[in-house]
Amino acid sequence: MIIMTIFLIIVLFLLFTNPQIVSQEVYNASYLWFSVLLPTMYPSFVILDLIETMPLTQKLSKLLFPIFKFIFNINYQKSAFIIILSFLCGAPASTKVIKNCLERNEISKNEADNLICAFSFLSLPYTLLICNSIKVSLFLFYSLLTLISCIYMQLFNKKRTITLPISFEKKKLTQTFFNSLRKNIDIVINILGILVIFRVIIKLFFKESFIFYPYLEILGGLAQNNNNSFVTLSALGFLGISIHLQIINIYSIKYSKFFISRLPFLLLGVLAFF
- On whether the CB atoms of residues 123 and 90 are closer than 8 A, the answer is yes
More confident residue, 14 or 272: 14
Q: What percent of the chain has pLDDT over 70?
A: 85
* 98-102, 139-143, 152-156: the lowest-pLDDT one: 139-143
Rounded to an integer, the average pLDDT of 99-123 is 92
Please name which of 118, 103, 107 lies closest in space to residue 160, comparing C-alpha atoms: 107
| Reported pTM | 0.84
Q: Is the pLDDT of residue 178 over 50?
A: yes
Residue 160, pLDDT score: 67
Residue 72, pLDDT score: 94
Burial readout 54-88 (b: 16 or more C-beta within 10 A, e: otherwise): eeebbebbeebbeebeeebbbbbbbbbbbbbbbbe
Please name which of 166, 165, 167, 171 lies closest in space to residue 53, comparing C-alpha atoms: 171
89 in helix, strand or coil?
helix
User: What digits encode the pLDDT tens for the residues 212-234?
Assistant: 888 888 877 776 665 677 788 88
* 11-20, 151-160, 182-191, 224-233: the lowest-pLDDT one: 224-233
**Domain spans in the chain, listed from the N-terminal domain onward:** 22-157+172-273
More confident residue, 37 or 7: 37
**Cα 191–Cα 101–Cα 150 angle in degrees, nearest 5:** 90
More confident residue, 8 or 162: 8
* Listed ranges 5-14, 202-211, 217-226, 227-236; the one with the highest mean pLDDT: 227-236
- On whether the CB atoms of residues 97 and 52 are closer than 8 A, the answer is yes
Q: How far is CA 214 from the centre of its chain?
A: 14
Q: How far is CA 193 from the centre of its chain?
A: 16
User: What digits encode the pLDDT tens for the residues 239-264?
Assistant: 999 899 999 999 999 999 999 999 99
| Mean pLDDT of all residues belonging to the chain | 82
Q: What size, in residues, is the chain?
A: 274
More confident residue, 134 or 42: 42
Residue 18, pLDDT score: 81
Q: Is the pLDDT of residue 274 over 60?
A: no
Integer Cα distance of 261 and 54 in angstroms: 32
Q: What is the DSSP string of 91-107?
A: TTHHHHHHHHHHHTTSS
Rounded to an integer, the average pLDDT of 193-218 is 81
